[in-house]
Structure 1
Amino acid sequence: MTRIGLSTSSVYPESTAHAFSYAALVGYDAVEVMVGIDALSQQTSAVLQLVEHHGVPVCAVHAPCLLFTQRVWGTEPWGKLERSAEMAHAVGAEVVVVHPPFRWQKEYARDFVDGIAALENSTGLRFAVENMYPWRATRRRGAEMYLPGWDPSTENYANTTIDLSHAAIAQDDVIAMAQRLGSRLRHIHLTDGTGSAKDEHLVPGRGVMGAAAFLRHLAATGFAGDIVLEINTRRCQDREERIADLRESLEFARTHFVPAGVSDGPAGSGPGPA
C-alpha cells in the first residue's frame, strides 16, 4: 500500500531528529531521509535510533547530490550513491532518490544511465532518478544544467521520481510526465509551485501544478510507490505554524490519493494512520 511520507528536508532548518518527531506527531506513515549537512542525516546508527524511538519507518534515502551537499560523504559521486544504498539497506528502505549529474560532472554523466542500472542490479534497490529543471533567470531564458538531461522520461531509467516543484520551474505537465513514465514512476515528491524560476516547494494546493488532479490520476492508474511531502517550511514563524503546514499537506495527500477499492472519507482519513 502506498505510504504518505515526510521528507526530513521539509522541516529545515530544524534537524533530522525533529523531522521524525513531527512525522510521528502529525501521523505520517514514513520518513524520507535527505542526507545533507545535518550530521544526524549522515549517520545510519542515528537514523536507526530515530526509527526505533518514534516508530516511523524510512521509506527512502535521498542521496546527497544537491549543490550544498557536494562534499557530504566525500566528493566522488558514485561513492555517495553506494553509501546511500548502504544506509537504505540498513534502515529497510527500498528506494534511493538521486538527481541527474550536473553538466560539469562530465565523467559521472557519461556513464550515469548505465551506472544507475548497474547499481540497481548489484544492490537490489530502486534508484529513482528525479526530474529537475532548466536553470533560468526569467521565464523566457534557461540553461541546461543537468546531463543527460533534467527530464527522466527521456532516458532508459527503470525507476524515477516526479517532483512537482521542479516540474513547475520546467513548466511541465506532471500528469503527462507520469503517462510518459508509466510503470517506471516509482516515487513522488508531493509539493507545489507557481511556475516561477524559484524552486518553491509550496504546500500542495497552494500553487498551480494541479496537485489534487495529479494525485487522483496516480490513484486511478494504480500507482504503488510512496508519496513523500517535500515542502518548504522555512518561513513558518513558530512550531505551531510548521505543524499546521505539515498537517495540511498530509490531509491534502490523503484526501486526493484514494486507491481504487478504498472508501473516500473526510479530509485527514484514508489509508494509513491518521
Structure 2
Amino acid sequence: MDPPQEPLGPIPVALSTSSVYPLGPDHAFAVAKDLGYDGVEVMVTGNSLSRDGDQLHALVQRFGIPVTAIHAPTLLLTQQVWGGAWTKIQRSALLAHELGCDVVVVHPPFRWQGKYASGFEEGVRRANETYGVKIAVENMYRWRTSGNGREMYLPHWDPVPMDYEYVTWDFSHAAIGRVNSLEAVQALGERLTHVHLTDGNDSGTDEHLPPGRGTQPVAETLQFLAASGFTGGVAAEVSTRRYRKVPGELERVLGETLEFARTHLQRPAADQD
C-alpha cells in the first residue's frame, strides 16, 4: 500500500509592485502587509529600489513578508534597464537568488529583437539550468492597430504551443489575445508555474482590471488550479491608477482582489492541512 500523500497547503497570493506603480516597492510592501497578502512580486523598473537586493531584503525584514517572484525588466517601458536582453534575465535570476525566491517572470522577445528571439527557447532552458531558477515565460497578445492584429512577439505571444518548461499566465493579456484562460491553463498542465491575477475585456487595451470585472473565466480558472494540485504562486497585478483619487480606494480594491483569490483558491477539503 502506498503511503498517504501529504496534504497540499494553501496557494500563496502575493501583491505585485506593479499594482501600486509608479509608487515604489516600499509602498507595495506596506499595502501587502496591511491587507494580509502572503508576499510581494517585485517588478524591476527604473526605480532604483526595485533593483537593489540589500534594500529589498531590508523591506522583507521590516514587513515580515517574502519576495515570491522577480519580474524581469522585459517590458517596453523597461528596455533601458539592465542593458541587453540576456543580461536582464541573468541579473533578475541573481536578484531572485539573493532574495530567496526561484521564479523569474519574463516576456517573450519583441519582434525587433531578432537574434535574441531566434535563440530564446534554448536560452531560457540554459538559464533555468545555469541559475537554478524557474524562468516563467508570460503569455502576451497581438498588438491591435485599426482593428488588425500585429505580431509583435517572437517566437510567439502564446506560450501554450511553445517548448517552455515554466509559464506565467496573465488574465488581462489573455483577454486581449481572445484566449480562454481556463482552457489554456488546462492545456499547460504542470508547466504553469505562476499566475498574474487580474482580468480584462476584448478591448485591445491591457486593462489589468480587478478579477471578476472583465470577461475572463478567472474564478473558474482559480477553482481549477486549487482542485488540480497547483503548487505554484499567484500575484495580484491590478491597475489601480483610477482608484487613487479617493483615499482608501486603492486599498479597498486590492483587499477585494485578495478576498477573491482566497475564495476561489480554496483547496478541496481533503487536500487542506
Q: For 1:116-139, what per-residue CA distance to the aligned partner results, in whole angstroms no more than 9, with x for missing partners? A: 00000111110000000000035x
1:239 to partner: Cα distance: 4.2
Query: Which residue is 1:252 aligned to?
Result: 260
Q: Which moved more, 1:233-242 or 1:248-257?
A: 233-242
Separation (CA, whole Å) in 1 of partners of 2:152 and 2:185: 22
Query: Which residue is 1:228 aligned to?
Result: 235
Structure 1 residue ranges (4+ consecutive) displaced by more than 3 angstroms after TM superposition: none
Alignment of 1:30-179 (within 5 A): 30-74=39-83, 76-138=84-146, 140-179=147-186
Cα contact 2:210–2:238 (8 A) shared by 1: yes
Separation (CA, whole Å) in 1 of partners of 2:32 and 2:151: 35
Q: Which moved more, 1:26-35 or 1:173-182?
A: 173-182
Q: For 1:14-69, what per-residue CA distance to the aligned partner results, in whole angstroms no more than 9, with x for missing partners? A: 11110000000000001100001221101111110110100010110000001110
Question: Structure 1, unaligned stretches of length 5 or more?
Answer: 264-269
Separation (CA, whole Å) in 2 of partners of 1:153 and 1:211: 18
1:49 is paired with a residue whose SS is helix
Cα contact 2:180–2:217 (8 A) shared by 1: no
Q: For 1:140-167, what per-residue CA distance to the aligned partner results, in whole angstroms no more than 9, with x for missing partners? A: 4100000000001111100001000000
Q: Which letter does structure 2 place at the counterpart of 1:218?
A: L
Query: Which residue is 1:267 aligned to?
Result: none
1:262 to partner: Cα distance: 6.5
Let me know the Cα RMSD of the aligned residues.
1.4
1:216 is paired with a residue whose SS is helix
Q: For 1:232-267, what per-residue CA distance to the aligned partner results, in whole angstroms no more than 9, with x for missing partners? A: 00111144000001100000000011112369xxxx
Query: Which residue is 1:13 aligned to?
Result: 22
1:127 is paired with a residue whose SS is strand
Separation (CA, whole Å) in 2 of partners of 1:21 and 1:207: 27
Paired residues in the alignment total 263
1:197 lines up with 2:204 in the alignment? yes
Separation (CA, whole Å) in 1 of partners of 2:106 and 2:159: 11
Q: Which moved more, 1:213-222 or 1:125-134?
A: 213-222
1:210 lines up with 2:228 in the alignment? no
**Aligned in 2, Cα 1:24/1:262: closer, same or farther, shift over 3 Å?**
farther
Query: Which residue is 2:6 aligned to?
Result: none
Q: Which letter does structure 2 place at the counterpart of 1:49?
A: A
Q: Which letter does structure 1 place at the counterpart of 2:61?
A: E
TM-score normalized by structure 1? 0.93
Question: Structure 2, unaligned stretches of length 5 or more?
Answer: 1-8
Query: Which residue is 1:266 aligned to?
Result: none
Alignment of 1:235-246 (within 5 A): 235-236=242-243, 237-246=245-254
